[in-house]
Chain A
């Protein structure tokens, strides 16, 4: 058994920042990650990182923009902490050598971004995430922090008290991918989950293949509620064949969207008569899909984004990166032809419920980054606000787990924060198919730490043995593809009651099919078949919470569009959706949104498009 003070699961931006922070507090830290740290998906972020750095800007203004952008579903303490801290964190990154773009006077550059009232998006070319990831990993190398790379964490070692709020997380179970060995990791102080987004629940996403919602699924099954899962951001310009992101910069420079009839759809079909192509992400995504659904899409699938009229010189000067993306991943020369684009899943606003210190309702268990929901993005994330979240909340979770007193949290978590029960109205039963999952390991309340971990290792070995020795059945790829298709068909940009119900039926089917899953590769060496099979179960659980939340929320808020409910209902719906696993029978409940900040209360205003 491995033993450390703090164990960080995942080594993207959030995990790396958490590890450095915990190490600075004197903790013995280990990172356990299924990919080598520099392979994490944070590297794909293009646009930039928001921080009020300059005269004329203020954290208060950043906080107001963020609250408004969240469609008043963010929690003020989380948003204010984010905006107060991100300037220091960005300066810290610069001090660690991050190669930011520069102004004439040598200071870091900032640019305007959608929804921001000040150009406060700090950036490093169009590769901000790449530089952030590498800079942070360099700090981990510098400090000699232990990294177990290509180790897949498949289970949390948590006590099994009846009430999740009485449970403690003592460590994790992980599979060494190279050898197939299953081992226990004991965390004396805490476990921090930083496993990133769940984009692979959809068949068309900007997210990496590794973004499979492992952290949220594991935390959920251990008893931590998932918060606001229905809020998924779709990006309007992704390449049809791969989901690779074509930056908003193309429309910013004057790129035009055309339908199959060669019409400038944003204007000619009146989706956004004033803003045209520059309308906000959700508006453009809906416009494109409407065209396709009404038969004006190209190959019934996508629309064209044309930048040829900008002239070769300007394109090469400002959008060179886009030319490479279109050529490498779609085989299209953007100087000669319009680029095919369609909306794709991009970001999960919801995730593991935490407070401002990164803590969940299970003691010793923390979460940070895209897998977590401290609730800074609410119903809609502003571009450039995810990266500051990684470093601000990664650092806080790391410090708190290492034992530093960060003060009392204002955000309440766990079942005791419940204000009201919810009704999903699912047409099929949700959750475990028959026997409750045995994710919670120990039996009886007063078992010692070692036993909790060894029981978890035992349970994991048993699961793997089951998957590997099963002679026949279905393969993960088949189940995963069906699940992804179901989500894209019915839990996408447009959501209808019937569609969401159908999706729940499809997810149920996937769950039942999964009972029959088996691993065809008999080898223990680098068995990606096994890893993908385990991931697929996580995707099923996460997809179900997304869909159930979407069915329950009968209003139109932020990224969540409902055919039958075309308005934001503030009287009823300024509240967070929570899904709790409850030993295999998911339960839905709500808790209030905190609109009271340090000095002011944020009053909901109509979001005009």
Chain B
């Protein structure tokens, strides 16, 4: 069993040729030495377990010699029943290579920060049991997004799209001192759409979004749906919202491929919501023809 990480030899060759000052090279060499020691210890620990899990993890760092070329590292981490892909990544990082970089926080599928491409599918790592996957488990950053480092992608574009649909409640008509009324049916209607955790899995899986950078994308359209269908905003605002989603790069771009719906970790019926918005938009136009 190996717990190796990078191809140490080639890395040191590159370093030897580099123009970095001597002390820095020495520092790097010492760091590698210590890491090798730690790995040996960790390997011994891992050997105490019956089973290990084999991860193949995408690596890239624009700044560090030897990591500028994207590559995959192999990690063999001790397996425990109930372990998720996120647990395995954390183990790999804490036991073998502290530079392994990924976003994560809640460990319970609510912060939306650890969506990655696991065995060829967009998933939340914390919500994916290792035992449900075949080995080796291949972990990559979300496709169609720029990689910042290792498994971290740039989310700016996703956030911009989310914020472009005026994602906030708007009404001028509020009862003083008490809540607005909303029927149970209407709450049920918007309920699924309000569950989005902004993980970006849907956008990453969408072929249309991949080809058209301006397409609002499934998450932003779902956000628009969440407000357009909320009866508390009133009819005028609904018209305004339909205008937003009807724009050139809005609902009409969707070709109902269902890839967003298939990957959404919150089971939001995204494609269905987009279809419903299309129907609303048609009704809306007919009214004014």
Contacts and interface: CB of A to CB of B under 8 A. Distances in A.
User: In the complex, which range does the number of interface residues on chain B fall in?
Assistant: 35 or more
Nearest to A129: B110
Max chain B Cβ within 10 angstroms of own Cβ: one of A39, A103, A107, A471:
A39
A43 B169 contact: no
A529 B232 contact: no
Max chain A Cβ within 10 angstroms of own Cβ: one of B34, B35, B107, B126:
B107
Given A36-B159, A331-B81, A520-B31, A95 B197 contact: no
B127 interface: yes
Contacts of A97: 168-169, 227, 230, 232-233
A330 B105 CA distance: 17
A329 B84 contact: yes
A520 B61 contact: no
A272 interface: no
A398 B151 CA distance: 36
Contact of B106 (A44, A481, A520): A44
Nearest to B62: A525
Contact of A209 (B104, B182, B195, B230): B104
A127 B109 CA distance: 12
B64 A330 contact: no
B9 interface: no
B213 interface: no
A41 interface: yes
A141 B174 contact: no
A105 B179 CA distance: 12
Nearest to A135: B169
Interface in B92-127: 93-95, 97-99, 101-113, 126-127
Given A91-B178, A331-B129, A528-B101, A522 B31 contact: yes
A331 B82 contact: yes
Given A127-B195, A331-B129, A526 B109 contact: no
A451 interface: no
A122 B28 CA distance: 56
Contacts of A95: 169, 174, 179-180
Contacts of B178: 91, 107
A94 B179 contact: yes
Contact of B108 (A100, A105, A242, A472): A242
A540 B27 CA distance: 27
B287 interface: no
A602 to B, nearest CB: 28
B120 to A, nearest CB: 20
B155 interface: yes
A475 B106 CA distance: 23
Given A91-B177, A91-B179, A526 B148 contact: yes
A43 B106 contact: yes
B278 interface: no
7 contacts: A39-B103, A44-B110, A208-B106, A210-B105, A328-B128, A331-B129, A475-B98
Contacts, number: 185
Given A97-B169, A241-B82, 13 more contacts: A38-B111, A97-B227, A106-B181, A127-B110, A141-B168, A142-B168, A242-B84, A242-B107, A328-B84, A477-B94, A477-B95, A520-B34, A523-B99
Interface in A308-336: 325, 328-332
A97 B230 CA distance: 9
Contacts of A328: 84, 109, 126-129
B184 interface: yes
A268 interface: no
A44 B111 CA distance: 8
A488 to B, nearest CB: 17
A523 B63 CA distance: 6
B83 A241 contact: yes
A131 interface: yes
Interface string A213-245: 000000000000000000000000001111111
Interface string B12-56: 000000000000001110110011001000000000000000000
A330 B82 contact: yes
A209 B128 CA distance: 18
A408 interface: no
Contact of A141 (B62, B127, B167): B167
Interface string A526-545: 11110000000000000000
Interface string A21-49: 00000000000000110111101100000
B84 A102 contact: no
Contacts of B93: 477
Interface of A: 35-36, 38-41, 43-44, 91, 94-97, 99-108, 125, 127, 129-131, 134-135, 138-139, 141-142, 178, 208-210, 239-245, 325, 328-332, 469, 471-472, 475-477, 481, 519-529
Nearest to B176: A91
A186 B64 CA distance: 33
A523 B61 contact: yes
Interface string B138-164: 000000000011101001000100010
A130 B112 CA distance: 11
Contacts of A245: 108
B108 to A, nearest CB: 5
A522 B230 contact: no
A240 B177 CA distance: 44
A35 B113 contact: yes
Contacts of B163: 141
Max chain B Cβ within 10 angstroms of own Cβ: one of A141, A241, A328, A472:
A328
Nearest to B37: A472
Contact of B179 (A40, A41, A108): A108
A523 B167 contact: no
Contact of A131 (B28, B38, B105, B194): B194
B107 A99 contact: no
Given A101-B187, A102-B187, A328-B127, A178 B181 contact: no
B190 to A, nearest CB: 6
B31 A39 contact: no
Contacts of B149: 523, 525-526
A39 B112 contact: yes
Nearest to A244: B108
B71 interface: no
